[in-house]
């Protein structure tokens, strides 16, 4: 199972990394474009402020601070178009402008950008530097909001992608896991089924070999027993090969239009003697002259499996009924037998390979629990389906549904 955990993890991580990287590149690109666009807008605002400062500093959009330095080194400043700052805020702005090495600063949670012109000498030979300051709180808030939004969307997207990847990874690995488990169960069950006849056959041969002076006639009982067990193993191998062939991709059989009514009636005829010997009432209700395109050999095998299964589980004095009818949509073939029935929890497993209702007889008989699995595959290959209905202590019905094309 560790192999499937690793496979599941790979299916989970690879899409997560791929989509996460793509989202990261996309969101970083969006943020980068927005950031540089905003910075460009701030540069334009500073450029407009510079033009206004060079002309007539009367704009109400900007704050201009003019620093003047006398010949003796004394400095002073004044400001123009102050419209939203208190004196202490202007003092703070002056300190930031003079002391800060950066072109941006914050005061009381507000963002500002500035640039300057000068120093240059005026008519009075004073050194003059003009600083023009623009408030960029809205622009930085936009960048901050975008960053938070993109980060939130990225995290939520990763969570959603992780959930979807987990579901998709589970659905992608489940068929492989199921197939692996089926193959493992097949090997385990086949080994289990082969163990008993091999052991019995070997024991019989060892008994014969223990007394080399005996004749064939004297050992006939052990030879017959060994042959019976070899036949059992051969039957199991043939059924397993048949299952493997049917489950192989591209498996097809030649189909032709046949009178399925006559075919089923002929099959049922061979079971009447067995029913008579076991005092079982055999009821047939076959709608005549129903044509269907299918493979004759496969259809015979399908019906034989179901009727033989019904005969096996019908007690003496019971009843088997085979009913076939055609509707506008499909052909229904029902094989019903009275008896112990199948518990609801076992009905869902009835078509599994090597599944047996009677656990007490696993080690004997020619039944390996493969017949109904083969019947299911045949019905599916015919384009139809097979279902099981049962009431414990009353009856069991297997219904084949073949759609009319």
- Cis omega (within 30 of 0) on the bond before 119? yes
CATH number of this structure's domain 256-403, picked from the four choices 3.30.565.10, 3.40.630.30, 1.10.10.10, 3.30.200.20: 3.30.565.10
Q: What is residue 78's predicted lDDT score, i.e. its pLDDT? A: 67
Name every residue whose Cβ is closer than 8 Å to that of residue 369 and which is 6 or more positions away in sequence.
189, 352, 353, 354, 355, 356
- What's the rounded Cα separation, in Å, for the pair 215 and 109? 112
Those residues of the chain that have pLDDT short of 50 are: 55-60, 82, 360-364
Q: What is residue 236's predicted lDDT score, i.e. its pLDDT? A: 74
Residue 43: how many other CB atoms lie within 10 Å: 12
Count of CA atoms in the C-beta half-sphere (13 A) of 238: 9
Given a contact cutoff of 8 angstroms between Cβ atoms, the answer to whether 308 and 371 are in contact is yes
DSSP 8-state secondary structure symbol assigned to residue 247: H
Q: What is residue 360's predicted lDDT score, i.e. its pLDDT? A: 44
Tokens of 177: 């896991």
Helix (H) or strand (E) segment spanning residue 149: helix 137-210
| Architecture field, domain 175-247 | Orthogonal Bundle (1.10)
CA 30 to chain centre: 32
- The per-residue b/e assignment along 122-149, b for 16 or more CB within 10 angstroms, e otherwise, is eeeebbebbbbbbbbeebbebbeebeee
Q: What is residue 318's predicted lDDT score, i.e. its pLDDT? A: 93
- What's the rounded Cα separation, in Å, for the pair 271 and 185? 33
| Every domain range in the chain assigned CATH 1.10.287.130 | 175-247
> Closest by alpha carbon to 14, among 144, 141, 173?
173
- What's the rounded Cα separation, in Å, for the pair 13 and 169? 9
| Every domain range in the chain assigned CATH 3.30.565.10 | 256-403
Residues facing 257 on adjacent strands = 293
pLDDT in tens, 277-309: 889 999 999 999 999 988 898 899 899 989 988
Q: What is residue 363's predicted lDDT score, i.e. its pLDDT? A: 44
- Please tell me the pTM assigned to this model: 0.53
């Amino acid at each position: 199972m560790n192999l499937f955990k690793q496979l599941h993890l790979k299916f989970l991580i690879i899409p997560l990394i791929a989509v996460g990287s793509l989202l990261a590149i996309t969101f970083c690109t969006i943020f980068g474009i927005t950031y540089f666009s905003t910075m460009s807008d701030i540069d334009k605002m500073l450029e407009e402020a510079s033009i206004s400062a060079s002309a007539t500093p009367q704009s109400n959009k900007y704050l201009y601070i003019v620093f003047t330095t006398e010949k003796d080194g004394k400095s002073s400043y004044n400001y123009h178009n102050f419209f939203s700052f208190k004196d202490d805020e202007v003092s703070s702005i002056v300190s930031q402008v003079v002391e800060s090495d950066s072109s941006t600063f914050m005061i009381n949670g507000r963002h500002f950008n500035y640039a300057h012109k000068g120093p240059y000498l005026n008519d009075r030979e004073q050194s003059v530097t003009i600083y023009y300051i623009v408030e960029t709180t809205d622009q930085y808030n936009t960048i901050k909001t975008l960053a938070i939004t993109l980060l939130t969307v990225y995290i939520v997207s990763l969570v959603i992608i992780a959930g979807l990847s987990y579901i998709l990874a589970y659905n992608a690995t489940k068929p492989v896991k199921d197939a692996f488990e089926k193959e493992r169960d097949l090997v385990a069950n086949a080994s289990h089924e082969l163990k008993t006849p091999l052991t019995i056959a070997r024991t019989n041969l060892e008994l014969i070999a223990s007394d080399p002076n005996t004749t064939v006639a004297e050992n006939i009982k052990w030879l017959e027993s060994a042959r019976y067990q070899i036949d059992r193993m051969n039957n199991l191998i043939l059924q397993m090969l048949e299952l493997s062939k049917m489950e192989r991709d591209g498996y097809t059989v030649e189909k032709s239009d046949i009178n399925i009514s006559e075919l089923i009636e002929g099959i049922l005829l061979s079971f009447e003697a067995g029913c008579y010997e076991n005092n079982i009432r055999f009821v047939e209700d076959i709608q005549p002259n129903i044509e269907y395109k299918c493979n004759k050999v496969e259809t015979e095998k399908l019906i034989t499996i179901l009727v033989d299964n019904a005969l096996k589980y019908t007690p003496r004095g019971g009843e088997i009924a085979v009913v076939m009818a055609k509707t506008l949509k499909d052909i229904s073939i029902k094989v019903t037998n009275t008896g112990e029935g199948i518990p609801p929890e076992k009905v869902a497993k009835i078509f599994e390979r090597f599944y047996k209702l009677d656990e007490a007889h696993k080690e004997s008989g020619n039944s390996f629990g493969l017949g109904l699995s083969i019947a299911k595959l045949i019905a599916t290959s015919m384009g139809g389906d097979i279902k099981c209905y049962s009431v414990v202590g009353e009856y069991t019905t297997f219904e084949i549904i073949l759609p009319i094309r």
